[in-house]
Amino acid sequence: MKPHVAVLPSLGLGHLIPLFEFSKRLVLHHGLQVSFLIITTTTDDPSSSAANAQLLQPSNLPSDLHLVHLPSVDVDKVTNSEMQILTRICTITEESLRSLKSVLMDIGSPKALIVDLLSTQAFDVCRELSIPAYSFVTTPVSFFAFSLYFVELDRTVEGDLADLPEPIQVPGCSPVRIEDLLDQARIRNSDEYKWFLFHVSRWRLADGIFFNSWEDLETIPLKAIRENPFFKSVTPPVYTVGPVTKQEEQDESAAEYMSWLDEQPPNSVLFVALGSGGTLSGEQMIEFAWGLELSRQRFIWVVRKPTEVSSSGTFFNVGNDTNSPEEYLPEGFLEKTQGVGVVVPSWTSQVAVLRHPSTGGFISHCGWNSTLESIAHGVPMIAWPLYAEQKMNATVLAEDTGVAVKPEVKAGQMVVGRVEIARVVRMVMEGDEGDEIRRRVRELKETATKALGVSGSSYESVCRVVEEWKPLS
């Protein structure tokens, strides 16, 4: 009988995609049965968005991968319009997990439960049912290391981290600049801070940690996690299993721009996509558009209606928003860039564009899924972080990993100007620095392929855990 495990992602595509792809890998490459548990809501349902529906369609499911929808949560009863994104996610998740014990018992008490970083309440249920619980890290190892150390910072630092005069020295890792700190870690007196602290303080309770990374990508933070005395005292066994990325997408609307890509020279097209929830302000949208035009480079730009409210404005309705670019892009932009650029409303087949030989650069929000997809296809990045840990990721990718460049933002300004946008675009697409970044990212692409292959480090990591589960079955 095949070992049976369950997998539980939190809300949002950034959590759903890697855990879903990891579940498929467990079934197809390691001979497991997997129950994929899905948090659902009665209103404002992220799990029923167009993007999620495409990902979870039956044609994507191996025979031993089964979808299990948790009882729906009434969002209107547990959230309100004042809640910020992390508080909203955590509140919905906590309410949903009230049913977890009965669901796990109904599906036959699996031999292990794998959860992502924002579902740590599941550890309590697993302990009660004597089910080993593992965390799947949907962020870089470097951010995981900072988060574990954040518990110590909360205990030892007086006041807010945002007021610290110097960068934070995470043991064995690169310093974290205060300006790069994620919003949830900056101010103590906020619900976002409290939820972040709640979950990161519980990661040590896991029976093991899966990193969506590989040995050659994050050598320094992996060494710190494994060898530094601070981390050795608080970290469960760790396993590098990445890159776990989306392998394919089905999008009938992609035919037109994919045909356009087919007609372009190799490495000549800049791909612009700011993640499943990312949005720009109206002023930044204008500068962005004219910066692309000024660069004189070919591009595919996935656009969403600008908003002044939040840079994560489409997190809960990705793929569902009504979007007419001609209504908000600068007057004359579409005419001036006709034939040179393609504008795609809301959503695109990102993997298909990144793997296309005509794609030569990627303006990315530096979410970890998009980062891994870019590296896995050998595409250098221009870092455009928007929310969550993305500023921290962007600095690591530019300064430590060497696969991205960051636009310069003038002191006191919130908007990157068109001239600077054009400069970094040309740098990556044409300049010598772009050649060096491209060399580095292709080198990492090769190591990623090797890590995932039979006898590779990531493949063998999964094998070791699966062998631990098999006697229990």
**DSSP calls for 224-293:** HHHH-HHHHTT---EEE-----------GGGHHHHHHHHTSPTT-EEEEE-TTT----HHHHHHHHHHHH
Structure tokens given for 151? 């518990």
Mean pLDDT, all residues of the chain: 92
Q: Whose structure tokens read 């928007």? A: 386
Q: Whose structure tokens read 């039956």? A: 58
Average confidence (pLDDT) over 334-351: 92
Asked if 143 and 180 count as a contact pair (C-beta separation under 8 A), the reply is no
250 Cβ contact partners less than 8 Å away, ≥ 6 residues apart: 54, 57, 59
How sure is the predictor about 321, in pLDDT bands with cuts at 50, 70 and 90?
low
Q: Report the alpha-carbon angle 457-458-463, nearest 5.
A: 95
255 Cβ contact partners less than 8 Å away, ≥ 6 residues apart: none
76 Cβ contact partners less than 8 Å away, ≥ 6 residues apart: 43
Residue among 4, 15, 199, 377 flagged as catalytic:
15
DSSP element (H, E) containing 67: strand 65-69
* Torsion (CA) 186, 190, 194, 195 in degrees, nearest 10: -100
Distance from C-alpha of 445 to C-alpha of 449, rounded to nearest angstrom: 6
User: What is the tens place of the pLDDT at every residue in 429-445?
Assistant: 998 888 999 999 999 99
SS3 string of 324-347? CHHHCCCCCHHHHCECCEEEEECC
Q: How far apart are the first and last CA of the chain?
A: 7
Average confidence (pLDDT) over 216-222: 97
Structure tokens given for 186? 């900056």
Average confidence (pLDDT) over 275-301: 94
pLDDT of residue 315: 46
Residues linked to residue 303 through DSSP beta bridges, in sequence order = 345
Share of the chain above pLDDT 70, in %: 92
Is 44 labeled as catalytic in the residue annotation?
no
pLDDT of residue 49: 53
Residue among 30, 45, 116, 207 flagged as catalytic:
116
Residue 312 pLDDT > 50, yes or no?
no
pLDDT of residue 348: 87
Residue 67 pLDDT > 50, yes or no?
yes
Percentages of the chain per state (helix, strand, coil), in multiples of 5: 45, 15, 40
Domains and CATH numbers, the chain: 4-244+453-472 (3.40.50.2000), 253-430 (3.40.50.2000)
pLDDT of residue 423: 97
Cis omega (within 30 of 0) for bond into 243: yes
User: What is the tens place of the pLDDT at every residue in 190-215?
Assistant: 999 999 999 999 999 999 999 999 99
pLDDT of residue 227: 97
pLDDT of residue 45: 46
335 Cβ contact partners less than 8 Å away, ≥ 6 residues apart: none
pLDDT of residue 46: 44
Distance from C-alpha of 413 to C-alpha of 45, rounded to nearest angstrom: 36
pTM more than 0.95: no
How sure is the predictor about 47, in pLDDT bands with cuts at 50, 70 and 90?
very low
Is 116 labeled as catalytic in the residue annotation?
yes
pLDDT of residue 162: 97
**The total number of residues written for the chain in this structure:** 473
pLDDT of residue 211: 98
User: What is the tens place of the pLDDT at every residue in 138-193?
Assistant: 999 999 999 999 999 999 999 999 999 999 999 999 999 999 999 999 999 999 99
- Residue 5: strand, helix, or coil: strand
How sure is the predictor about 470, in pLDDT bands with cuts at 50, 70 and 90?
confident
